[in-house]
């Protein structure tokens, strides 16, 4: 039974890549202001779960509910469902995937202007605020290739947050960070959670998971087991 | 070491044997008369024998046979483009060129020219309905008048352009000027009456004007160092004029008329009483004088090449973007049709496509030559561009597209704001490459009567009988056109990389 403040409710989820079952019968929830860490060895399906929640990959069985929006197996996402989904979910990829031809600032205001139809000036002001909030305000005019791994990750977080989603997914956020930066990132995630956002984070790093997560799940034999 | 003297001795003996053999070969009288002509020129001059396309037949073939038998040799035909006959004979590709070659002061200045063996008149051919109003070049102010490039008639038309305001339209063959006259693409054709008669027979509704615009002569041309052979040939021609063998050949090809006996009478047996050659062009005083005379025309042709290339490229880019988008985003049926289109266009020669658009479609739609050239180049390069853009679109990392999707951008927005700008960066270098290739390929449009840089250069080269200066000038012009684009592309790439 989902809690009242549940933002993400994953139930009996099965995911496949080609014919191979990657995830079988995964169920978990994440409440508002909660950081859930998904741990497990490579290939256990952590990223696949995040991609399914973000609507990038289809669901084989089970359901995913995000802030009341249900994604079901066997159905391609309708255009309006997809629009609603992307209002609710932001995703930060392992390799950031910042748009290489745009500055950090432009990466952040692109979706507010073209998806949410915000005015350009207002969107740019908010984007700058977000970058400053995440400690990369002075890098607003740099291109992605000019950013360090940590800076690129913060810009990617700002880009995902710019459309104001209640749920933020982060795939292996510590992969390209040194230990000092990992500590900074854990603090940032706790701060975002304290502002009322829900975060689901995949990681190999137990120390990082313990530093930032309110709950840790471990992927084992295609299932998510509480640690 | 005791036999160290043997090796030099063997080499010396071998060298001696080689020299003696070479001298014997050189001393032997040649057994062949290698003669050059352009079988594309067709009947009655030189054309492939319909019964055996490996052989050639025609008026010039018989003349070559006459000369060869007089020299005690066997004639051997060597195919050469009409506009390069002068250069080829000068560099020794064959002994003599015979292909309806017109006598001119410029030719006499730089080659060994035989006695004229045929006299012709340049006449105007018009549509029957225009016969009363277009009688002379002066009547054709502002009108398009077709002819063959690099001929006496073309020189006359160029002179008439300044004098009477006619618009010369040079063709590469003697068939399409008349078919284009019949369908109204040009208003008159100026060529010799041998060709005009054939044109009128092939195209009902055309009429030859009786008044001659000029008189010319067909001659054989030889390398300037080959005057001994030229003198032998002149003697053979003089004999053939007297004993009726030349008349028999001319009659055989239905080219006999009252001008020929007059020509034979005027020419004495020793060939000293040459008829005065006509031609609007005086012999070239110097190369620099020729450059000065041709430079405005070359600059104008350069402008045509640049305009043609730029507009064609814009068309190609637009078409390429549409095809690539269809191939990446379209349903299977659209992808299949577009793939077939790209393969057809890429798999067939650009020249063929230009012919189909300009000549093949003429019965349905008569496109002006420049427009046909634009469409032909645009369609052809559009297919190549589409493959560049498709490859570039597909080379944009999937992660970028995933990121765009998670931000809620639609497919269209993803294409416009994320995928296309990144693909464009990947496509810029091959696009620049294609533009430079297009700039050079634009020379093919001369085949559909557009006089661009290479065509103007070949006219220039034919006139002065050398490709050195015209070739250098032409190459320089192409570099001046292409280098700024290559430089601009490099600067843009550098900015993106910074």
Nearest residue of chain A to residue B406 (CA atoms): A86
The structure's pTM equals 0.74
B246, two tokens: 């030349």
Q: How far apart are CA B481 and CA B308, in angstroms?
A: 12
C-alpha distance from B329 to closest chain A C-alpha (Å): 17
Would you call A160 an interface residue with chain B, using a CB distance cutoff of 8 Å?
A: yes
The CA dihedral of B169, B172, B174, B179, to the nearest 10 degrees, is -60
Would you call A80 an interface residue with chain B, using a CB distance cutoff of 8 Å?
A: no
At A223 the three-state DSSP class reads strand
Query: For A204-218, B230-244, B275-289, B308-322, which range has the lowest pLDDT when averaged over its residues?
Result: B275-289
One fold for B24-117+219-266 and B120-215: yes
Whether the predicted pLDDT of A29 surpasses 70: yes
Q: How far apart are CA B10 and CA B6, in angstroms?
A: 6
Q: Which has more pLDDT, B20 or B397? A: B397
Would you call A69 an interface residue with chain B, using a CB distance cutoff of 8 Å?
A: no
CB contacts under 8 A, A 187-226 vs B, are none
Instruction: Give residue A222's pLDDT band: very low, low, confident or very high (50, 70, 90).
Output: confident
Q: At what angle do helices B369-395 and B287-329 cross, to 10 degrees?
A: 50
Q: Give me the architecture of the B120-215 domain, per CATH.
A: 3-Layer(aba) Sandwich (3.40)
Looking at beta carbons, which pairs linking B354-357 to residues 24 or more positions away fall under 8 Å?
B354/B444, B354/B445, B354/B447, B354/B448, B355/B447, B355/B448, B357/B448
Interface test with A, best of B407, B409, B426, B494 (most A CBs within 10 A): B407
Query: What is the pLDDT, as a whole number, of residue B271?
Result: 46
Burial of B359 (0-12, 13-18, 19+ CB in 10 A): middle
Contact check, Cβ <8 Å, A111/B402: no
Would you call A114 an interface residue with chain B, using a CB distance cutoff of 8 Å?
A: yes
Contact check, Cβ <8 Å, B402/A98: no
User: For strand A69-72 and strand B221-222, is the pairing parallel, antiparallel, or unpaired?
Assistant: unpaired
Instruction: Give residue A97's pLDDT band: very low, low, confident or very high (50, 70, 90).
Output: very high
Q: How far apart are CA B118 and CA B263, in angstroms?
A: 8
> Does the interface predicted TM-score (ipTM) exceed 0.90?
yes
Which CATH number applies to B24-117+219-266: 3.40.190.10, 3.40.50.920, 3.40.50.300, 3.40.50.2300?
A: 3.40.190.10
Q: How far apart are CA B202 and CA B183, in angstroms?
A: 13
**Biggest CA-to-CA distance, chain B:** 97
Sheet holding A69-72, edge to edge: A20-31, A6-17, A61-66, A69-72
Q: What is the pLDDT of residues B430-475, one digit of tens each?
A: 999 899 999 999 999 988 878 889 988 887 877 776 788 889 999 9
CB contacts under 8 A, A 26-45 vs B, are none
β-pair partners for A203:
A39
Q: Which residues of A touch B421 (CB under 8 A)?
A: 101
Q: What is the pLDDT of residues B472-491, one digit of tens each?
A: 999 999 999 999 988 888 88
C-alpha separations of A71 from A76, A164, A199, B388 in Å? 9, 20, 19, 38
With respect to CATH, is domain B287-497 assigned 3.30.565.10?
no
- Fold annotation for A6-226: Rossmann fold (3.40.50)
C-alpha distance from B394 to closest chain A C-alpha (Å): 16
Q: What is the pLDDT of residues A119-152, one digit of tens each?
A: 999 999 999 999 998 889 999 999 999 999 889 9
* Domain boundary assignment for chain A: 6-226
Q: How far apart are CA B287 and CA B294, in angstroms?
A: 10
In 3D space, the residue among A137, A142, A135, A138 whose CA is nearest the CA of residue A104 turns out to be A142
Q: What percent helix, strand, coil does chain B show, rounded to 5?
A: 60, 15, 25
Query: What is the pLDDT, as a whole number, of residue A199?
Result: 94
Which among A54, A79, A95 has the least Cβ separation from residue B399?
A95
Residue position matching structure tokens 């432009």? A106
Interface test with A, best of B395, B403, B424 (most A CBs within 10 A): B403
For Cα atoms B301, B388, B375, give the angle at the middle one, nearest 5 degrees. Answer: 40
Contact check, Cβ <8 Å, B422/A100: yes
Query: What is the pLDDT, as a whole number, of residue B80?
Result: 84
Q: What are phi and psi of B30, to 5 degrees?
A: -65, 145
Q: Which residues of A touch B415 (CB under 8 A)?
A: none
Which among B397, B408, B425 has the least Cβ separation from residue A101?
B425
* Domain boundary assignment for chain B: 24-117+219-266, 120-215, 287-497
C-alpha distance from B408 to closest chain A C-alpha (Å): 5
């Amino acid at each position: 039974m989902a809690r009242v403040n549940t933002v993400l409710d994953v139930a009996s989820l099965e995911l496949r890549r080609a014919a191979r079952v990657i995830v079988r019968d995964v169920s978990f929830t994440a409440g508002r202001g909660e950081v859930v860490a998904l741990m497990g060895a490579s290939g256990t399906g952590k990223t696949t779960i995040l991609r399914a929640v973000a609507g990038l990959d289809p669901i084989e069985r089970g359901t995913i509910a995000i802030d009341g929006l249900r994604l079901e197996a066997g159905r391609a996402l309708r255009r309006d469902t997809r629009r609603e989904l992307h209002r609710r979910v932001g995703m930060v990829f392992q390799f950031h995937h910042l748009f290489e031809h745009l500055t950090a600032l432009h990466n952040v205001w692109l979706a507010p202007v073209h998806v949410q139809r915000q005015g350009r000036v207002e969107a740019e002001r908010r984007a700058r605020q977000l970058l400053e909030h995440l400690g990369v305000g002075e890098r607003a005019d740099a291109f992605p290739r000019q950013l360090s791994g940590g800076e690129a990750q913060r810009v990617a977080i700002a880009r995902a947050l710019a459309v104001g989603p209640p749920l933020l997914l982060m795939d292996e956020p510590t992969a390209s960070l040194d230990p000092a930066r990992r500590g900074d990132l854990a603090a940032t995630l706790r701060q975002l959670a304290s502002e009322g956002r829900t975060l689901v984070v995949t990681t190999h790093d137990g120390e990082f998971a313990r530093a930032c997560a309110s709950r840790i799940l471990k992927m084992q034999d295609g299932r998510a087991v509480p640690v | 070491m005791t036999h160290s003297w043997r090796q030099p001795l063997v080499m010396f003996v071998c060298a001696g044997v080689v020299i003696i053999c070479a001298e014997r070969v050189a001393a032997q009288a040649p057994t062949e008369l290698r003669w050059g002509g352009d079988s594309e020129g067709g009947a009655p001059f030189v054309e492939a024998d319909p019964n055996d396309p490996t052989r050639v037949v025609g008026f010039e073939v018989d003349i070559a046979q006459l000369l060869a038998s007089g020299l005690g040799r066997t004639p051997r035909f060597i195919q050469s483009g009409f506009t390069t006959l002068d250069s080829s004979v000068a560099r020794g590709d064959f002994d003599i060129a015979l292909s309806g070659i017109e006598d001119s002061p410029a030719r006499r200045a730089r080659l060994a020219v035989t006695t004229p063996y045929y006299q012709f008149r340049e006449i105007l051919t018009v549509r029957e309905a225009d016969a009363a109003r277009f009688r002379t070049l002066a009547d054709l102010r502002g009108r398009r008048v077709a002819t063959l490039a690099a001929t006496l008639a073309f020189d006359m038309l160029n002179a008439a352009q300044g004098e009477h305001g006619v618009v010369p339209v040079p063709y590469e063959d003697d068939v399409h000027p008349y078919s284009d006259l019949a369908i109204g693409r040009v208003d008159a054709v100026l060529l010799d009456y041998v060709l005009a008669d054939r044109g009128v027979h092939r195209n009902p509704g055309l009429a030859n004007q009786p008044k001659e615009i000029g008189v010319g002569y067909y001659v054989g041309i030889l390398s300037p160092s080959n005057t001994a052979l030229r003198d032998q040939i002149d003697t053979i021609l003089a004999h053939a004029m007297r004993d009726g063998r030349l008349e028999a050949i001319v009659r055989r090809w239905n080219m006999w008329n009252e001008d020929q006996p007059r020509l034979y009478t005027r020419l004495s047996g020793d060939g000293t009483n040459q008829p005065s050659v006509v031609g609007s062009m005086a012999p070239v005083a110097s190369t620099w004088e020729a450059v000065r005379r041709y430079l405005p025309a070359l600059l104008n042709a350069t402008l045509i090449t640049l305009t043609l290339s730029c507009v064609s490229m814009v068309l190609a880019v637009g078409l390429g973007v549409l095809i690539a988008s269809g191939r990446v985003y379209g349903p299977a049926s659209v992808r299949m049709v577009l793939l077939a289109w790209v393969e057809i266009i890429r798999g067939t020669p650009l020249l063929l496509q230009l012919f189909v658009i300009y000549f093949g479609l003429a019965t349905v739609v008569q496109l002006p030559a420049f427009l046909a050239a634009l469409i032909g180049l645009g369609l052809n390069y559009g297919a190549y561009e589409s493959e560049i853009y498709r490859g570039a679109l597909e080379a944009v990392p999937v992660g970028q597209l995933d990121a765009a999707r998670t931000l809620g951008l639609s497919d269209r927005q993803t294409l416009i704001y994320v995928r296309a700008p990144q693909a464009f960066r990947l496509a810029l270098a091959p696009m620049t490459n294609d533009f430079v290739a297009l700039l050079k390929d634009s020379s093919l449009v001369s085949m559909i009567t557009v006089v661009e840089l290479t065509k103007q250069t070949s006219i220039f080269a034919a006139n002065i009988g050398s490709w050195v200066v015209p070739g250098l000038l032409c190459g320089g012009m192409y570099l001046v056109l292409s280098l700024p684009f290559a430089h601009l592309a490099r600067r843009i790439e550098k900015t993106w990389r910074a």
